[in-house]
Amino acid sequence: MSESAKDWNPGAYSRFRGLRLRPALDLLAQVGDLPKGDVIDLGCGDGAAAEALAARFPERRIIGVDNSPAMLGKAQGYAIKTLADIGTWHPETPPALIFSNAVLHWLPDHAALMPRLAGYLAPGGVLAVQMPRQFLAPSHRFLRDIAGGMFPDRFDFGHYHPPVDPAAAYHEILAPLGRMSAWETEYVQRVEAVVEGHPVRAFTGTTAMRPFLEKLSEAEAKQFTAAYDAALTSAYPLLEDGAALFPFRRCFFVLEMP
Ligand SMILES: C[S@@+](CC[C@H](N)C(=O)[O-])C[C@H]1O[C@@H](n2cnc3c(N)ncnc32)[C@H](O)[C@@H]1O
């Protein structure tokens, strides 16, 4: 599969812009006053949070960082757009705020990653993070169960560990560094009917499902998708109008450095 086929699809991703923006706004609402410095939107994607960040911090330079050329290409509202992998990225000057919405679950070893990011901040700076914590819910568990059952040569989740821990774990890791606030919220999302397939799949298809589809041929993907749709119907029954209720758990924390 080519690199571009592996890249994110900003058009499909933005279909649920409202549902995806809400947690970003809830996170931003918990960020207080900032010291001097830039605002970094880490894993900025197509720039969904740029407008809210600019409205909140109108005098600041807002920098978007992402490793997807397609997403970064769409992103607007940043003074600087940096194509970089968060695994190796570091800021040029100590930022006032590192804001990261729905990104860091793609990166491993949070016990090392989060303190590293906090260490880049200016004194009094803030690290604000939101990550989905949906990995044991049916929407995400079905992906692993079905892929492992259908294609055991490519998928083995025998030692699976969810990439995001409970909010309390981040509190424990980061509280020694500064003032911590951590919480979780389950959003009861209404996902509207789609022409083809289950509406929950329309949501996960552009994010959680991507690493699975990348490893499948077109015919295999079709088979996999049909099985996933059927399983979703049992866990998220369709409402009369074809929409579904899709409870979705998210983990948040805000660390304020001394
Ligand atoms: C679910 S989107 C979230 C985008 C945006 N923050 C928002 O709230 O809509 C995840 C983004 O993280 C980016 N991403 C994932 N892993 C990354 C990495 N290792 N380095 C940089 N960006 C990464 C993807 O390219 C994608 O744009």
Atom of ligand 1 nearest to the CA of 41: 6
Average pLDDT over residues 215-238: 97
Span from the CA of 206 to the centroid of ligand 1 (angstroms)? 12
Q: Are 251 and 137 in contact (CB under 8 A)?
A: no
Average pLDDT over residues 233-251: 97
Q: State both tokens at 37.
A: 């410095």
Lowest-confidence pick of 4-8, 13-17, 211-215, 235-239: 4-8
14 pLDDT above the threshold of 90: no
Cα-based distances in Å from 143 to 156, 212, 249: 12, 8, 17
What DSSP letter does each residue of 80-93 carry, written as one string? EEEE--TTT---SS
Overall residue count recorded for the chain in this entry: 258
Span from the CA of 66 to the centroid of ligand 1 (angstroms)? 6
Span from the CA of 241 to the centroid of ligand 1 (angstroms)? 32
Backbone angles phi, psi at 22, to 5 degrees: -50, -50
- pLDDT, residue 2, reads 38
Q: How would you list the strands of the sheet with 62-66, edge to edge?
A: 80-83, 62-66, 39-42, 97-101, 126-132, 244-256, 179-191
Average pLDDT over residues 219-223: 97
Atom of ligand 1 nearest to the CA of 71: 27
Establish whether residue 71 lines the binding site of ligand 1, counting it when its CB lies within 6 angstroms of any ligand atom.
yes
Which residue, by CA, sits nearest to atom 16 of ligand 1?
A: 106
The more confident residue out of 171 and 19 is 171
Average pLDDT over residues 18-42: 96
Atom of ligand 1 nearest to the CA of 106: 16
Q: Ligand 1: which of 66, 85, 248 to mutate, most ligand atoms within 8 Å of CB?
A: 66
Indicate the pairing of strand 179-191 with strand 244-256: antiparallel
How far apart CA 90 and CA 75 sit, in angstroms, is 20
Q: State what percent of residues in the chain have pLDDT above 70.
A: 96
- pLDDT, residue 15, reads 73
How far apart CA 202 and CA 197 sit, in angstroms, is 8
Q: Could you tell me the pTM of the whole model?
A: 0.92
103-133 pLDDT per residue, tens: 999 999 999 999 999 999 999 999 999 999 9
Span from the CA of 86 to the centroid of ligand 1 (angstroms)? 9
How far apart CA 77 and CA 90 sit, in angstroms, is 21
Lowest-confidence pick of 8-17, 164-173, 184-193: 8-17
Establish whether residue 167 lines the binding site of ligand 1, counting it when its CB lies within 6 angstroms of any ligand atom.
no
1 pLDDT above the threshold of 50: no
Q: What is the mean pLDDT of the chain?
A: 94
Q: How confident is the model at residue 232 (pLDDT cuts 50, 70, 90)?
A: very high
Average pLDDT over residues 230-252: 97
Q: State both tokens at 238.
A: 């369709």
Which residue, by CA, sits nearest to atom 8 of ligand 1?
A: 101
Q: Are 50 and 41 in contact (CB under 8 A)?
A: yes
- pLDDT, residue 11, reads 67
- pLDDT, residue 3, reads 41
Q: How confident is the model at residue 8 (pLDDT cuts 50, 70, 90)?
A: low
Establish whether residue 66 lines the binding site of ligand 1, counting it when its CB lies within 6 angstroms of any ligand atom.
yes
